Chains A and B, each alone.
Chain A
Amino acid sequence: MNRAVILALVLVVGGPWLAPYDPMEQNLLAVLLAPTWDHWLGTDHLGRDVLSRVLAGAPRSLGLALGCVGTAVALGCTLGLMAATGGRWLGALIMRGADLVLAFPGLLLALLLAGFLGGGVGPMLFGLTLTLWPQYARMTQAVARRALAEPPVEAARLAGFTTLAILSSLVLPVVLRALLPLATLGVGQAILSISALGFLGLGLRPPEPEWGAMINDLLPVLTEAPVQMAAPCLAILTAVLGLTLAGRTLLARQQHSL
């Protein structure tokens, strides 16, 4: 699995650099070409090299998903720890805020924000982070509460360590270990959300080579360009499937060790 993670990171960082052509470059004399040695996955309806576009899409789809979940975990973790250690009112305020966001069905909030702010990378990051943080905050609060009642924490408190020191050395590691499987599955879900927004025309805008937007682009020429269509589809499927399986393994390992 470590090898798969390294491969994914290489793709995210080096994807555009590995691309044989400029993913935006159009060549109207070579549209919808079947796969050849020059264009391994053929060309799309504007003559752009599909392989280059799929590779260039990696940092946009996978990288953006990682960014969203990373920010959401950081935010949810901080707020969850504050809710677990802060006063009753602060805790109640944070948890009711989380409940409010969870009262919104799925993507609705991200959809509206992307629509209003004009789906660039910034609005997508903002909208998805806003929808994702509550689940991590809830988990953090629950796990942190349990960890705070353990004897080592009591001992540390009696020994005179500050709350911050206790949180960072005794509570945070437990919380992060509990969040890891959830976050791994979350990255997969975020890829699906980003591609759904792209497909609806509300995410990253064309000509950006985002996988969902590419599928939307190619849909009218589905029958003429099955290979070109399959490429971004398989990219999404592989990424999400890999993350789901990794998340399931982590989850099973965790339940095993408990």
Chain B
Amino acid sequence: MVWLQLVATRLTQAVAMALVLATLCFGFVQALPGDLATRIAAARVGEDRLTPEIATRIRAQAGLDQPVLVQYGGWLADLARGELGRSLVTGEPVVAEFRYHAGHTLVLGLLGWALSYLIALPIGLWAGLRPGGWVDRISDAAAVLLASLPPFLTGIALISLFALTLTWLPPAGFGTWAHRVLPALTLALGLAAFAVPVIRTAVVEVRGAFYITYAQIKGLGETTAFRHHGLRNAAIPIVTYAALQMTFVIDGFVVIETLFNHPGLGAWLVKALLARDVPVILAASLAIGFLFSLVSLITDALCLALDPRARAASVRLGRGWSAR
């Protein structure tokens, strides 16, 4: 029941978001100056071979002579069937381009996310187990500093250090795994800056909890008590925070992919926005939006699975559970 509510809430939100995005793009196309049929014709056959007849044919074909509301309905119906059309710039089907870019984004995202936990977990745990110690103080300062840097500046700093000064890695582009190291590291550092304080606070709070004291009175060693009773409790805020982190990942994607010229969804979206390529803008923003919804759903589900109290609370209140 709880799980069903959770899925229903997130699904409704995702559909509403898709509707807003589609409406925004439709409104943008309508608001553009000039005749839409002529522009589509120009994009299809080229400016020099454009004749009024072609434009008229396209107008009838695409239903552009219909009232706006009918066109809007048609646009939504096409979308619901998964017909996203062709890119106005390359002429390729949007779906094919999407697959290519989504793959690059997924690899970079997973790499960056995994790397961030490789950095953040040991540091956060150490800082939380020894609050006020030197690891805690240094990591806190570093986290504040990193969180105050826009992701493109972290990226530029890494490029100038590892690519321009040390020349260990290529500065930008794609193809080999070496090209993925710097973008993934940039993403990971930005993520870790948010994750370290969260992990630290969670560990500190759990260590001060009465059940840990009780476990120690019972005779368990400090480490055993923490491993048996603390880890799961500390995991709840850490997992909850992962959703907020994903917000950063998605902003980060757009900026980091553009900086490193990495052909993922974010760079695809920015290029399309600069070229005003509406079918691609819609497809890319839908893809990024759905990716975010999916991650939020997984996060909420993980929280429910980890925390029986949340399950009980959302049953008692009779409403959907939301981590945010």
Show the binding face of A for B, using Cβ within 8 Å. 99-100, 102-108, 111-113, 115-116, 188, 192-193, 195-196, 199-202, 212, 215, 219, 222-223, 229, 233, 236-237, 240-241, 244-245, 248
Contact = CB atoms under 8 A, between A and B. Distances in A.
Q: How large is the interface on B (under 10, 10 to 19, 20 to 34, 35 or more residues)?
A: 35 or more
B8 interface: no
Given A100-B17, A222-B156, A222-B164, A195 B24 contact: no
B150 A195 contact: yes
B258 to A, nearest CB: 6
A237 B148 CA distance: 6
A107 B17 contact: no
Interface of B: 13-14, 16-17, 20-21, 24, 28, 144-145, 147-153, 156, 159-160, 164, 246-248, 250-251, 254-255, 258-259, 269-270, 273-274, 276, 281, 285, 288-289, 291-293, 296, 322, 324
A202 B273 contact: yes
Contacts of B159: 222
Given A115-B273, A188-B148, A106 B248 contact: yes
Nearest to B29: A116
Contacts of A215: 152-153, 156
Contacts of B150: 192, 195-196, 199, 212, 236
A201 B250 CA distance: 18
Nearest to A103: B13
Nearest to A216: B152
Main secondary structure of the interface of A (DSSP, over half): helix
B289 A105 contact: yes
A121 B232 CA distance: 47
Given A103-B13, A103-B16, A103-B293, A112 B153 contact: no
A107 B254 contact: yes
Contacts of B247: 105-106
A112 B288 CA distance: 12
Contacts of A233: 153, 156
B283 to A, nearest CB: 13
Given A105-B246, A215-B152, A241-B145, A116 B24 contact: yes
B164 A223 contact: yes
A241 B164 contact: no
Contacts of A116: 24, 28
Given A111-B269, A112-B21, A188-B148, 10 more contacts: A103-B293, A105-B291, A111-B254, A111-B270, A115-B273, A115-B276, A196-B150, A222-B159, A240-B149, A241-B148
